[in-house]
Amino acid sequence: MKKLAIAYCLLIFSLGSVYSWAECDVEAGKKQFNKCVACHSVEADVQLMGPSLHGLMGRKVGSVEGFPFSEAMANADFIWTEETLDAFLESPMQYLPGTVMPFGGIRKAEQRQALNCYIGQLN
Ligand code: HEC
């Protein structure tokens, strides 16, 4: 009986995550992107004060050709995924000490999730 209850919980849990994926809200994410748009283009190869975010997911941090990254970002060694982007956006300077991205971070998890969704579909 206990096993059944655990299996049931797992089922609910996994349905929950499938559901939240289906909820990926590009429009809400686009709105959140207003916080970034002064410094980041979503067009490939358009560098503003910040690098283009086109094709961000799956690429190495600080690797946009010709963009003058800070030493901290150029030397960082991770790949942009939903997890790393979420952690970075929560507090850029804490996640990547020495970054010169002048942005305080986004406290609300659902706002970061929407942004993640929007940026993810730019690939
Ligand atoms: C005031 C300008 C500014 C704002 C606003 C800003 N950024 Fe940045 N961003 C930068 C700069 C400059 C860098 C390069 C930082 C470095 O070299 O340390 C950067 C770097 C990044 C990177 C790393 C890119 C790569 O190729 O590795 C990501 C991801 C990023 N920003 C996302 C965002 C998002 C999402 C927002 C909006 C919530 C945002 N930024 C808001 C200026 C900004």
Atom nearest to 32 CA in ligand 1? 38
Cα(49) to centroid(ligand 1), Å: 8
pTM value surpassing 0.75: yes
Q: Which domains does the chain have, with CATH numbers?
A: 25-120 (1.10.760.10)
Q: Which structure tokens are listed for 18?
A: 């499938």
**The predicted structure's pLDDT at residue 24:** 82
Nearest to 120 by CA among 20, 53, 62: 53
Q: With a 6 A CB cut-off, is 114 part of the ligand 1 pocket?
A: no
Q: What is the pLDDT of residues 82-107, one digit of tens each?
A: 999 999 999 999 999 999 999 999 99
State how far the Cα of 35 lies from the Cα of 25, in Å rounded to an integer.
17
**The predicted structure's pLDDT at residue 123:** 85
Q: What is the pLDDT of residues 26-76, one digit of tens each?
A: 999 999 999 999 999 999 999 999 999 999 999 999 999 999 999 999 999
Q: Coil, strand, or helix at residue 60?
A: strand
Torsion angle, alpha carbons of 52, 53, 56, 59, to 10: 20
**The predicted structure's pLDDT at residue 61:** 98
